[in-house]
């Protein structure tokens, strides 16, 4: 008979990682054990040079508690597990890698697709407003590098494509509680300048802001 894998255990090839203890109904996660798994999974996803930086421990603690839905810690950290994540920080600090990586600690949850915003804007230039409909719907997305995408243009008309999509996602969030995640290099003031006060106001209602230190090193160097 095939053995049942328990919810606190993740198997990667021949290796097995225990993320905490299982009491029969819920998992009591151990943050240090999660970090061991993330280090190993990161090397599998991104190559042997990947590593978890001690300087990122605070950010990782927030993100891990969000993804595992630890209500007590989320409350202490002022994180609402019912909202999405807006992960901001300087170029190369590891935002995209973490969003690709962290979804693996909760394989029982619905996975989100990570979509570069530049690709969305280019898609709009080819097929128009259907792009906004496609990304404003019921799928689970992480929009990567918000703010680097160019203005959309279709049949001679300009459109702030991601601004429109974020407004659509906000309305969908109110109706269904479907979350959206975002990574960005922009700060709050820059986001408001790029997308307007209306979008920025709605982003406050739909995202938890988690930020890397502005002096975070470029890990791609």
Q: pLDDT digit of tens for each residue in the chain (221 aa)?
A: 344 567 789 999 999 999 999 888 888 999 999 999 999 999 999 999 999 999 999 999 999 999 999 999 999 999 999 999 999 999 999 999 999 999 999 998 889 999 999 999 999 999 999 999 999 877 899 999 999 999 999 998 999 999 999 999 999 999 999 999 999 999 989 999 999 999 999 999 999 999 998 888 788 76
- pTM of the model as a whole: 0.93
pLDDT at residue 5, as a whole number: 64
What would the two tokens of residue 106 be? 């909760």
CA distance 44 to 84: 26
Cα angle, residue 41 at apex, residues 32 and 187 outer, rounded to 5°? 80
Domains and their CATH numbers in the chain? 81-211 (3.40.50.300)
195 to 17, 22, 190: CA distances (angstroms):
42, 44, 9
Query: Which neighbouring-strand residues pair with 146?
Result: 184
Strands (E), the chain: 9-12, 15-18, 20-22, 27-29, 84-88, 113-116, 141-146, 152-154, 157-159, 180-184, 207-211
Quote the pLDDT of residue 1: 36
Whether the Cβ atoms of residue 122 and residue 153 lie closer than 8 Å to each other = no
């Amino acid at each position: 008979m095939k053995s049942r894998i328990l919810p606190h255990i993740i198997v990667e090839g021949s290796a097995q990682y225990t993320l905490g203890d299982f009491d029969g109904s819920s998992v009591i996660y151990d943050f240090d054990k999660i970090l061991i798994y993330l280090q190993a999974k990161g090397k599998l996803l991104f190559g042997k040079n990947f590593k978890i930086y001690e300087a990122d421990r605070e950010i990782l603690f927030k993100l891990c508690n969000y993804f595992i839905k630890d209500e007590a810690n989320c409350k202490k950290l002022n994180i609402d597990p019912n909202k999405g994540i807006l992960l901001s920080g300087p170029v190369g600090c590891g935002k995209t890698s973490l969003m690709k990586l962290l979804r693996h600690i909760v394989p029982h949850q619905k996975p989100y697709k990570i979509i570069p915003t530049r690709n969305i804007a280019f898609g709009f230039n080819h097929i128009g407003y259907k792009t906004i409909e496609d990304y404003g719907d019921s799928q689970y997305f992480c929009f990567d590098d918000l703010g680097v995408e160019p203005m959309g243009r279709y049949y001679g008309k300009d459109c702030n494509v991601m601004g429109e999509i974020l407004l659509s996602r906000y309305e969908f969030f109110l109706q269904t509680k479907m979350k959206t995640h975002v990574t960005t290099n922009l700060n709050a003031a820059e986001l408001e300048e790029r997308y307007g006060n209306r979008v920025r106001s709605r982003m406050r209602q739909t995202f938890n802001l988690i930020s890397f230190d502005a002096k975070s090193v470029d890990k791609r160097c």
